[in-house]
Amino acid sequence: MQQKDWLIALLVVTAWGFNFVVIHWGLEELPPLLLGALRFLLVAIPAVFFIRPPKLPLRWLLAYGFTISFLQFALLFSAMQLGMPAGLASLVLQAQSIFTLLFALVFLGEAFRMRQLIALLIAAGGLWLLASQSGDSNMTLIGFVLTITAAAAWGAGNIINRRIGQLGNVNLISLVVWAGLIPPLPFFAASWFIEGPELILNSLSAMTWQSAAVLFYLAAIATLFGYGSWAWLLKHHPASTIAPLTLLVPVFGLFSAWLFLDEQLNSVQFAGILLVMAGLLVNSFGDRLHPARVLKFISSR
């Protein structure tokens, strides 16, 4: 890749990592379900007036918007409201890759490779270590469980996205924008029944520049810029080059949470983080670490 393309990729993963700190700031003034509703309202409007709808059946658009956009972020925002630290959320959410493997096995009939099974076991061990620290640290068990469930929703959305990809050349920006019309309604409905009309009205009337900046970041930077740039990179470069860069998202997430929110980790959490990252690395690069390939590489030097 050219230096310009590397810079774009770095900006995207940095924006996605810092996104968790921004969510934390947003939850200081807005309840989680209302925050999600406003985010996707701004993602879709006014963009839908300038971008053509994607060429795919309505049921797939609804499925994508409900899983990746509504379920994932309703659970994630609620998890962070209920005690999931921003930095750890950025890491635990990457369990979506594990759920994607499992759902592909169950619903698509894809077979596990040995490296994928090893990666799953390593990452699951790391997640178990992190879960064991709930109550003994600044992370709550309900926050952890909701974040894992959000990762499962993302994984389900990945399977739906794979099905959408089989339908033809679907424009990703068009998909993200038009799917953004779907979650505001369930978000507003859930906010009305769970958070209550009084809290909604009070939160909207008390909004400050902080909430406005958060919503702008979540809609324009994390969603439209992030997904748009990522789609452009995937179009011009092999997925094997671009996809592994998402491993940097929890790195930037943990670092920015430490820098801006003063989030600290104990030794067991740190060990869990290392195991999860090791599992993700094995899943992404395991084939390149096959003994035969390593020997071939050494003999060619």
**Please, what is the end-to-end C-alpha distance for the chain in angstroms?**
24
Rounded to the nearest 5°, which phi and psi values hold at 294? -65, -45
Name the phi and psi angles at 238, rounded to 5.
Answer: -60, 145
Confidence (pLDDT) at 61: 94
Which has more pLDDT, 298 or 111? 111
What are 252's two structure tokens?
């930037």
**pLDDT tens profile 15-48:** 999 999 999 999 999 999 999 999 999 999 989 9
Give the whole-angstrom CA distance, residue 259 versus residue 158: 31
pTM of the model: 0.87
Amino acid found at 174: S
Judge contact between 18 and 256, C-beta under 8 A.
Answer: yes
* 57-84 pLDDT tens trace: 999 999 999 999 999 999 999 999 999 9
Residue type (1 letter), 146: L
Strands in the chain per DSSP E: none
Q: What is the pLDDT of residues 136-173, one digit of tens each?
A: 567 899 999 999 999 999 999 988 988 887 887 788 88
User: What one-character-per-residue DSSP string does the chain give?
Assistant: --HHHHHHHHHHHHHHHHHHHHHHHHTTTS-HHHHHHHHHHHHHTTGGGTSPPPSS-HHHHHHHIIIIIIIHHHHHHHHHHTT--HHHHHHHGGGHHHHHHHHHHHHS-PPPPHHHHHHHHHHHHHHHHHHHTTTTSS--HHHHHHHHHHHHHHHHHHHHHHHHHTTS---HHHHHHHHTTSTHHHHHHHIIIII-HHHHHHHHHT--HHHHHHHHIIIIIIIIIHHHHHHHHHHHS-HHHHGGGGGHHHHHHHHHHHHHH-----HHHHHHHHHHHHHHHHHHHGGGG-HHHHHHHHHH-
Question: pLDDT at position 265, please?
Answer: 81
Query: Tell me, what's the pLDDT at 240?
Result: 58
**Exposed / middle / buried, residue 199 (Cβ in 10 Å: 0-12, 13-18, 19+):** middle
* pLDDT surpassing 50 at residue 295: no
Cα separation, 202 vs 252, whole angstroms: 33
Does residue 101 surpass a pLDDT of 90? no
The model's pLDDT over 190-241, given as tens digits with 9 standing for 90+, comes to 999 999 999 999 999 999 999 999 999 999 999 989 888 887 887 777 665 6
